[in-house]
Every structure is written in structure tokens, then in C-alpha cells.
């Protein structure tokens, strides 16, 4: 269990991780967050063979995208979703570096 302020956002969260070995060095990650006595476990999907670092979300998006191409239906996740996700990460890093909130309009 660790309490960390490495991101400069305070230590109000306690985060535990269970990490095994597998492809890419990670077999399974389960995060447990204790806030005010509440325990929350990560949601897992048994169809994901290798969890990697985003609990398999990227794998599921790729599987869905391939199915959409094959069926001719619309994909659940589109390029704009990926761009927004990246922009959120960029804004978060800028916020930590600057010590202030960074709006999405500043990074898109």
C-alpha cells in the first residue's frame, strides 16, 4: 500500500496494486481505493488475455474497431475520442507542472 504525492495532487487517496508477471511485464492489475472507509475494486474482463497498463481498454477498443470494419457498422470509439483522451492527459500534466487548472480549450 502506498501514499504518494508524486503527481503533486495531495495524499488524500490510498492506492494498492497487485501486479504479476506476464506479457509486457504485467499480468493483472487490481486497484483498491480507500476513501472514507470505502473499498473499490477495479472492474475486470475475462476476455482480455493481457491486461497491460490500461486494464485492457485499448485491446477492447481494437477488437471493437476490427468488428466494426468487418460488419460495416459504426465503431464505439472513434478518432475524436482518442484525441480527447490524449488532450485530457496533456491538460493534466500541464496542470501539475503549472500548479493551476488547465482547460481543454488550452490544449485542443
Tell me the pLDDT tens digit for each residue of 19-50: 444 444 444 445 555 556 566 666 666 666 65
DSSP 21-55: -SGGG-S-EEEEEEETTEEEEPP--TT-S--TTTT
Distance CA(39)–CA(36), nearest Å, equals 9
Interior CA angle at 55 toward 67 and 87, to 5°? 80
Asked if pLDDT for residue 86 goes beyond 80, the answer is yes
Q: Indicate yes or no: pTM above 0.85.
A: no
Amino acid at each position: 500500500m502506498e501514499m504518494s504525492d508524486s503527481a503533486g495532487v495531495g495524499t488524500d487517496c490510498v492506492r494498492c496494486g497487485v501486479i504479476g508477471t506476464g506479457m509486457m511485464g504485467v499480468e493483472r492489475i487490481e486497484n483498491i481505493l480507500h476513501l472514507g472507509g470505502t473499498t473499490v475494486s477495479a472492474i475486470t474482463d475475462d476476455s482480455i488475455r493481457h491486461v497491460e497498463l490500461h486494464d485492457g481498454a485499448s485491446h477492447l477498443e481494437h477488437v471493437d474497431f476490427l468488428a466494426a470494419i468487418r460488419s460495416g457498422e459504426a465503431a464505439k470509439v472513434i478518432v475524436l475520442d482518442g484525441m480527447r483522451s490524449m488532450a485530457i492527459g496533456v491538460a493534466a500534466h500541464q496542470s501539475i507542472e503549472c500548479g493551476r487548472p488547465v482547460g481543454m480549450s488550452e490544449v485542443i
